[in-house]
Amino acid sequence: MRLGFNLPQFGQNVGPDGIVAVARRAEELGYDSLWVIERLLYPVQPQAPYPVTADGSLPLPYRRSLDPLAVLAYIAAQTSRARIGSTVINLPYYNPVLLARHLATIDVLSGGRLSVGFGLGWSPDEFEAVGVAMEDRGRRAEEALRLIQAIWTENPVEFEGRYFRLPKSYIDLKPAQKPRPPIYMAAYTQNALRRVARLADGWNPSGLPVGAMEQMFGAIRQMATEAGRDADAMELIVTANVEIHPGSLGAERMIFSGAPDQIEADIAATRQLGATELIFNAQFSPGADSTDSLIALMEQLWAMSHR
């Protein structure tokens, strides 16, 4: 099971020095990948609760958020071995023609190290800010995904859809990876799981118990087979929102939260599940309030994963 780590993007003190320090220490330790997250707004009066926290509140560091695509481009020049990726970029927020160019450029500049994680987004406030109807997000994302893949693999390329149109054009900029970078998708509804099975290379869940991941990934594999795809090639890329506490938490705890031995058990269960990769997001763990403390957590998680 590969191991990844989320780069620090949020909070009043994040900047280039901290990002580079975390990335280079991760490469020294042997982490396989480095990841970024999408967060656009911190609404004063949010229209919907944040689905990750128990009380629905957004973590305060989200008030200052570095752009994920810019961070990926920056870190591509500061690293040499680790893959770089997004978990996740909200696909409906973007024009797919421009996004395809952004991501292909990052793949070229990184020497073919890009992995692309897409999501649909959940915040009505963010959809309002980007001028996209939230109720169209699934159909819009699927069309955008098809267009991006066409731009990356065809030349000339032409596309006619409900939301996007590309006149027949030569686009010589292609990703360094052939035929294209791997695409992972976060998905939780039946339609979204089916989209993963038909169009993506893997599933990127977060916050689900191991039993739920096993059941849903089994459904994705079955749907991939029904779509004529190789189910065995489908990857399970798990994002772990880590919160390390000094003492054990009760049975209602979120996965990857609690005392170190509880989180070690979650890591072992994820490996037993057959996950291809486990990505640690420790930015909001208690005590992760500086670059040094985040690196210490990263080192601790590396050790916990190798016992």
* Ranges of each domain in the chain: 2-304
Distance, first Cα to last Cα, the chain: 14
Burial environment of residue 252 by CB neighbours within 10 A (0 to 12, 13 to 18, 19 or more): exposed
Residue 208: predicted pLDDT: 95
Please say if the pLDDT value at position 243 is more than 80: yes
Of residues 211 and 52, more confidently modeled: 211
> Measured between alpha carbons, how far is residue 40 from residues 43, 145, 149, 154, 242 in Å?
10, 21, 25, 32, 22
Confidence of residue 52 (pLDDT cuts 50, 70, 90): confident
Give the pLDDT band (50/70/90) at residue 248: very high
* pLDDT of 105: 98
How confident is the prediction for the chain on average, in pLDDT? 96
Cα separation of 300 and 260, whole Å? 9
Given a contact cutoff of 8 angstroms between Cβ atoms, the answer to whether 268 and 233 are in contact is: no
Fold of 2-304: TIM Barrel (3.20.20)
φ/ψ of residue 66, rounded to 5: -80, 140
pLDDT in tens, 139-192: 999 999 999 999 999 999 999 999 999 999 999 999 999 999 999 999 999 999
| Residue 251 pLDDT | 86
- Report which of 142, 287, 280 is spatially closest to residue 206, judged by C-alpha positions: 280
Pinpoint the alpha helices (H) of 154-259.
Answer: 190-199, 210-226
Residue 11 has pLDDT above 90, yes or no: yes
Q: Note the pLDDT tens digit of each residue in 99-132.
A: 999 999 999 999 999 999 999 999 999 999 999 9
Task: Give which of 244, 305, 249 is closest to 278, Cα–Cα.
Answer: 305
The per-residue pLDDT for 51 is: 85
CA atoms of 296 and 237, how far apart (whole Å):
24
Give the integer Cα–Cα distance in Å for 102 and 79: 19
